[in-house]
Structure 1
Amino acid sequence: MAQRPVRIGNVSGYLGDRFTAVDEAMAGDPVDVLMGDYLAEITLAALAAAAGRGKPGYVEYALDQLTPHLPEIARRGIRVVTNAGGFDPPGMADELRDRIADAGLSLRVATVAGDGVHGRLDEFHTDGHGMEHLDTGAPLKDWGARPIAANAYLGGFGIAAALAAGADIVITGRVTDASLTAGPAAWWHGWDPDEFDALAGAVTAGHVIECGAHATGGNFSGFRTIPGITRPGFPIGEIAADGSSVITKHARDGGAVTVDTVTAQLLYEIQGPRYLNPDVTVHLDTAALTQEGPDRVAIGPVTGSPPPPTAKVAVFAPIGYEISTMLFCTAPDVDGKVALLRDQLRAALEGHVDQLDVTPLGVAAVDPATQWEATVPIRVIATAREKEPLRRFAPAVGSLYLQGFPGFHHDGHAPRASEPWPRIEYWPALLESALLDHHAVLDDGSRVEVPRASRTATPEETAQPAHPEPDLPAPTGSPVELGTLTYARAGDKGGNANVGVWATDPEHWEWLRATLTTKRAAELLPEAGGAIVRHEFPHLRAVHLVLVGLLGSGGSANLRVDQIGKSVGEYLRAKHVPGPG
């Protein structure tokens, strides 16, 4: 008899997701595995800074989410997999074991190791591994900053090995988000590392459910169509032995799973049709979506090929400090008022700060009906290598109430920033996977080795396909807001932002292709500076854009208000373009 699909329920999409997620999953439909994703590049930067101040390097509240449910998890035989271990999976595992013992239970906790390579950076340098920056090509030694953390993105087979060895709970550090799903699926179905198509399907399902309510209507352009959007539930991935999957959710919870909500997540934080994972290269352009029933979207078998020979490594280093505040000005002459504010702050802070950014947000309404329609927020931020110069920032801002622009004010109910906080910069690098000591550690301290694929991909196999510009006439219909005919989802990939835009109606696919050419996209998104890489996903009716360098050196260090590019897709949808003829 064929092995039934494994049901993997997500309980976290990021550090800060809804605290009651585990409560909801335990009260919802049955699952075989609870999967919690707490890490992102910007989250790792924050954890690195916290660990440097002597705080735990793991996500403490994840323990509090799990603890009340440990007896029921044991009774049902549910497995738990989470990357909440951050920089210290052994520390989190020890604390969890103490709580398990206090509850009189015998759940076994294992960890996955090998991602932390900070202590080996000198070794890599000596051996000739440059760890060049993914976008600039510069070697790590030329950074000019002293790393405090370096973690490789591991695949799912460490998780699979721990589960196969009898672990009930597996705590990891930096694995890829999709590995938290692919690992349990590989364990459940007994896959070996060369089953690339099956692994590609599991990674695809993992990519869809890794961000929690992103798959059930959260952060979705069509949010008005989603029932129960006030509190969307968490998704479940049902992954079959061939890697095909169904994305669903707990029936009792709000939100919806539709082809569009799944499309949104498939296009999220990718660099193109080739989705590189430590276990497999996923050909996302083969992922077919079918609405199988209410809240059930099937993802057909996905094509996979060998994984890349290198692993991505996230390196972090402190580069100084920052401080910011929000001010407000009121029409008329907002431009003049912002210019005066900028000039006054420059005069007060020049020579003391490295960067000063004054950004008005939005525009005042013409003939405003209320004071708030006439009000424009202004975000002010300053950076410096050391803390002390930034202590001039708050007094400089505070001195302008009687000598600044007319109507100068801040939110009197919000605390004013007076102490600077650290800036952590991100350096994405590549390292040969063979150099990593990827393994699992069981609760008795024994080590479990992780199998590897028999071969890795060639550069030609991992390269993104080149998509020529569409040979179509430019649309000439009456102007329409792009968002009336499309949905979009945007995200970050290091210093790049990505945005996927797809036609909600199949009849508009050719129009969208002709509308979002590289040249036209650059005109619509002048902030991108023209550095845009474009791909098409015909089976999703989607155009995918990578905005190279929009996010500077990454979300943890750039000064944009939309720090990790989450609103770029909606901004693009607000643009007016010629409609279908």
Structure 2
Amino acid sequence: MPVKGELASQGITEMKSGQPFPKAMHSMNAYLGAGPIARALSIGADVVVTGRCVDSAVVLGPLLHEFGWSTSDYDRLAAGSLAGHLVECGAQATGGIFTDWHMVPGWDNIGFPIVECSSDGSFILTKPPKTGGLVTFGTVAEQLVYEIGDPRKYMLPDVTCDFSQVQIEEIKGREKEAVLVKGVKGSAPSNDYKVSATYADGYRVTAVCPIGGPWASEKAHRTAKAILKRTQNMFKQLGIADYTDTLIQVVGSEQTYGPNAYMDNNPREVMLWLAAHHSDKRALEILSREVAPAGTGMAPGFMTLVGGRPRVSPVLKLFSFLYPKDKLQVKVHCDEHEETITSPVVPESTQDEVQESVTEEGPQLGTGTHTFSLGDLAYTRSGDKGNTCNIGVVARHPFYVPYLRQALTEEAVQQYFDHLIDAPDSRETKSVTRYELPGVYGFNFVLDNALGGGGIASLRCDAQGKAYGQMFLDFKIENVPDLPTLAKKESSGP
């Protein structure tokens, strides 16, 4: 923050959108790596407290300290980082939010993941005995594809990881309890830190109201529109500008699914989600007061205002950019000892260019009369990075991969999620990129501008894309053979 003015004068822009450097910058934090953590341990720290760092660093740091890995041993650094990536979200690697959730026992006592690491970089992922959850190919593969972009170029401060050829093997004798993870490769990191910055951009408020009875969805829409119109009339009288943005979402009507919705009748029980953004806090305080009167003056079946009068809160939007590592010094304190660490500059010649993956044309795929939902053939997991959503798809059997590749084109996926993508004309602008992970029979789809701004900047009820993978499970794979039967025959051998 002390160099904010200097940064603003340098013409720094946001990494994805190209947005200019904001005037109302609220915070700036560089994502640090594992080096300072390892150094703190080496000078005697029992517990290390750090500022913002990449999630994987809290695992890689102790491994660097314990095994004495070189900072240029990129394959091992990538392996340690993968171990950190897999356990960063706790029970998500041991069956939490797994596609096949109905097969996961013991949610009330789910075991958190443990990585048993060796000095050569290989590791086993397991969980404590006699705890709930699952550790299988599927649960761990889902976590591998969680919140990543290009799997061949997963960039961290310590190393650039290639996850595309990672293999996950279930260990015999430890069924549903442990897997072996191997095959990650590493190359030199960049000479920049990624900086996560936030800037103030007005205020927001969200009101949530259950509405019941016949035609509940229509009642919710009309109620929300009336509340907004009522407050807009007040704004005119008070000389207040109109809303910057508003959102009316009827949860329970499958509105989020857009044209992919199954529901063809009006539900009798819904949740109205009414959100608004404004630069003037006074405007949203008026809206906050004017929601409750709908319970006595608008639609019947208005049950309650969840949580009471909604609270107006400031909006802090994300602004990410790159900053040279050699310009940022990290201080390590332990007892009376203090030292400064500056990341070494990596020669550009050692920063390998990632080659574009080429999909080899396989044999002509057979056709048939069968239709499968994506969930019949694959696992899915989705997450966010700012205003970008990623959806990982992992085939349940290697035999399904060419059929998934054929059906899940970038164009088909963009069409499926087009109603959630914000672009001047998302049908003409490429907003979906597909990457492959052959090691786990998987694909990763990156959807740009798909979260309404993302995080607390978004007015949507799913601002982090947590349900996108679930929505994708209903995507139809049509005119194909009986794939499960063919896969079973292929598995049985000649």
TM range (shorter): 0.7 to 0.9
Name the counterpart of 1:248. Answer: 126
Unpaired runs of 5+ residues, structure 2, are 233-240, 255-262, 482-494
1: CA distance between counterparts of 2:310 and 2:78? 49
Name the counterpart of 2:251. Answer: 361
Counterpart AA for 2:432: I
1: CA distance between counterparts of 2:242 and 2:107? 47
2: CA distance between counterparts of 1:537 and 1:460? 19
Name the counterpart of 1:92. Answer: none
Name the counterpart of 1:135. Answer: 16
What displacement does 1:122 show? 2.0
1: CA distance between counterparts of 2:367 and 2:344? 50
Q: CA 1:231–1:464 in structure 2 vs 1: closer, same or farther (change >3 Å)?
A: farther
**Cα shift readout 1:181-221 (whole Å, capped 9, x = no counterpart):** 11111111111211111101000111001111011000111
Output the TM-score relative to the length of structure 1: 0.73
1: CA distance between counterparts of 2:478 and 2:100? 22
What displacement does 1:124 show? 3.2
Structure 2 residue 140 is the aligned partner of structure 1 residue 262: yes
Correspondent of 2:302 among 400, 408, 422: 408
Counterpart AA for 1:362: G
Q: CA 1:334–1:428 in structure 2 vs 1: closer, same or farther (change >3 Å)?
A: same
2: CA distance between counterparts of 1:175 and 1:456? 24
What displacement does 1:479 show? 2.6
Q: CA 1:291–1:218 in structure 2 vs 1: closer, same or farther (change >3 Å)?
A: same
Correspondent of 1:287 among 155, 166, 170: 166
2: CA distance between counterparts of 1:474 and 1:563? 40
Name the counterpart of 2:453. Answer: 553
* Structure 1 segment 489-528 matched on structure 2, within 5 A: 489-526=381-418, 527-528=420-421
Counterpart AA for 2:96: G
How many residues end up aligned between the 2 structures?
452
Counterpart AA for 1:212: G
2: CA distance between counterparts of 1:476 and 1:119? 65
1:482 and 1:577 in contact (8 A); partners too? yes
Counterpart AA for 1:483: G
* Structure 1 segment 94-133 matched on structure 2, within 5 A: 118-126=1-9, 128=10, 130-133=11-14
Counterpart AA for 1:354: T
Structure 2 residue 227 is the aligned partner of structure 1 residue 345: yes
Name the counterpart of 1:296. Answer: 178
2: CA distance between counterparts of 1:195 and 1:149? 34
Q: CA 1:409–1:226 in structure 2 vs 1: closer, same or farther (change >3 Å)?
A: closer
Structure 2 residue 221 is the aligned partner of structure 1 residue 221: no
1:276 and 1:282 in contact (8 A); partners too? yes
Name the counterpart of 2:375. Answer: 483
Counterpart AA for 2:439: H
Correspondent of 2:288 among 394, 404, 417: 394
1:238 partner SS: strand
Counterpart AA for 2:456: S
**Cα shift readout 1:56-100 (whole Å, capped 9, x = no counterpart):** xxxxxxxxxxxxxxxxxxxxxxxxxxxxxxxxxxxxxxxxxxxxx
Structure 2 residue 89 is the aligned partner of structure 1 residue 189: no
Q: CA 1:279–1:580 in structure 2 vs 1: closer, same or farther (change >3 Å)?
A: same
Q: CA 1:346–1:227 in structure 2 vs 1: closer, same or farther (change >3 Å)?
A: closer
1:163 and 1:170 in contact (8 A); partners too? yes
1:193 and 1:451 in contact (8 A); partners too? no
1: CA distance between counterparts of 2:340 and 2:132? 40
Unpaired runs of 5+ residues, structure 1, are 1-117
* Structure 1 segment 314-333 matched on structure 2, within 5 A: 314-330=196-212, 332-333=214-215
* Structure 1 segment 28-177 matched on structure 2, within 5 A: 118-126=1-9, 128=10, 130-140=11-21, 143=22, 145-177=23-55
1:508 and 1:580 in contact (8 A); partners too? no
Q: CA 1:560–1:172 in structure 2 vs 1: closer, same or farther (change >3 Å)?
A: same
Counterpart AA for 1:124: L
Q: CA 1:283–1:551 in structure 2 vs 1: closer, same or farther (change >3 Å)?
A: same
Structure 2 residue 106 is the aligned partner of structure 1 residue 233: no
Q: CA 1:139–1:375 in structure 2 vs 1: closer, same or farther (change >3 Å)?
A: same
2: CA distance between counterparts of 1:557 and 1:521? 25
Name the counterpart of 1:425. Answer: 317
1: CA distance between counterparts of 2:282 and 2:369? 58
2:325 and 2:343 in contact (8 A); partners too? no
Structure 2 residue 78 is the aligned partner of structure 1 residue 200: yes
Counterpart AA for 2:161: V
Q: CA 1:514–1:456 in structure 2 vs 1: closer, same or farther (change >3 Å)?
A: same
Structure 2 residue 266 is the aligned partner of structure 1 residue 376: no
2:127 and 2:135 in contact (8 A); partners too? yes
Output the TM-score relative to the length of structure 2: 0.85
1: CA distance between counterparts of 2:53 and 2:199? 20
2:452 and 2:463 in contact (8 A); partners too? no
Name the counterpart of 2:157. Answer: 278
Deviates further, 236-245 or 488-497: 236-245
What displacement does 1:326 show? 1.2
2: CA distance between counterparts of 1:405 and 1:393? 18
2: CA distance between counterparts of 1:464 and 1:388? 53
1: CA distance between counterparts of 2:222 and 2:278? 22
2:164 partner SS: helix
2: CA distance between counterparts of 1:223 and 1:120? 48
Q: CA 1:552–1:469 in structure 2 vs 1: closer, same or farther (change >3 Å)?
A: farther
What displacement does 1:476 show? 5.2
Q: CA 1:515–1:477 in structure 2 vs 1: closer, same or farther (change >3 Å)?
A: farther
Q: CA 1:456–1:233 in structure 2 vs 1: closer, same or farther (change >3 Å)?
A: farther
Correspondent of 1:465 among 321, 339, 356: 356
Q: CA RMSD in A?
A: 2.5
